[in-house]
């Protein structure tokens, strides 16, 4: 049977553990809560520790999201960043508000990011077979780029499906 002193001690230990976890890296509320419960603390003790850290300003999902976006805004698409933030437990409104804040300072060009991502894989003017083209589109879509943007950047870079490969497929011997 657990006594009040046992509960108080567990909460104290959970707070200490939370402080140690936050020393190493910033976390979301959800991330800290999960880490504490994985460490064997009860849900009550973990919640108490999260509330304490939040009260002192040691965790703040808004700040976390802004830092996260700021460090990735020139590498990943908006959609991909949002998806990662949702997985980390950041609320949609918080992520959107953070995006607006960072966007007003950084103003990334997603089409330029898309263009550089494509150019890392293929030179401008490349002719790809259908399989390569499908793979490239799939790769870019999984990174959160919109289909319309991909098509337009591919057109700008003059990357297209090879006519030779299309002819071979039509007249392939069986």
Are 39 and 82 found together in one domain? Answer: no
Of 69, 89, 106, which one is at a domain's C-terminal end? 106
> How many independent structural domains does the chain possess?
3
Residue 110, pLDDT score: 80
pLDDT value for 106: 74
Last residue of a domain, one of 12, 28, 55: 55
Q: Looking at the chain, list the stretches that DSSP marks H as alpha helix, in order from N- to C-terminal side.
A: 4-24, 29-38, 43-55, 61-72, 78-87, 92-106, 110-121, 130-142, 147-156, 163-170
Quick one: 9 and 51 in the same domain?
A: yes
Please check whether residues 115 and 142 belong to one and the same domain. Answer: yes
pLDDT for 159: 87
Domain extent for 136: 110-170
pLDDT for residue 172: 35
**Which portions of the chain are predicted below pLDDT 50?**
167-174
């Amino acid at each position: 049977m657990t006594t009040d002193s046992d509960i108080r001690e567990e909460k104290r230990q959970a707070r200490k553990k939370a402080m140690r976890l936050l020393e190493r890296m910033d976390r979301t509320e959800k991330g800290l809560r999960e880490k504490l419960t994985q460490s064997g603390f009860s849900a009550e003790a973990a919640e108490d520790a999260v509330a304490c850290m939040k009260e002192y300003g040691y965790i703040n999902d808004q700040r976390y999201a802004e830092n996260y976006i700021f460090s990735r805004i020139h590498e990943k698409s908006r959609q991909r960043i949002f998806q990662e933030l949702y997985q980390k437990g950041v609320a949609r409104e918080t992520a959107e508000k953070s995006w607006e804040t960072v966007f007003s300072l950084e103003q990334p060009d997603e089409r330029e990011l898309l263009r550089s991502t494509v150019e890392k894989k293929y030179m401008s003017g490349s002719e790809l077979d259908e399989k390569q083209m499908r793979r490239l589109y799939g790769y870019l879509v999984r990174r959160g780029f919109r289909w319309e943007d991909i098509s337009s950047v591919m057109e700008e870079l003059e990357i297209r499906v090879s006519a030779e490969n299309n002819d071979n497929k039509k007249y392939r011997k069986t």
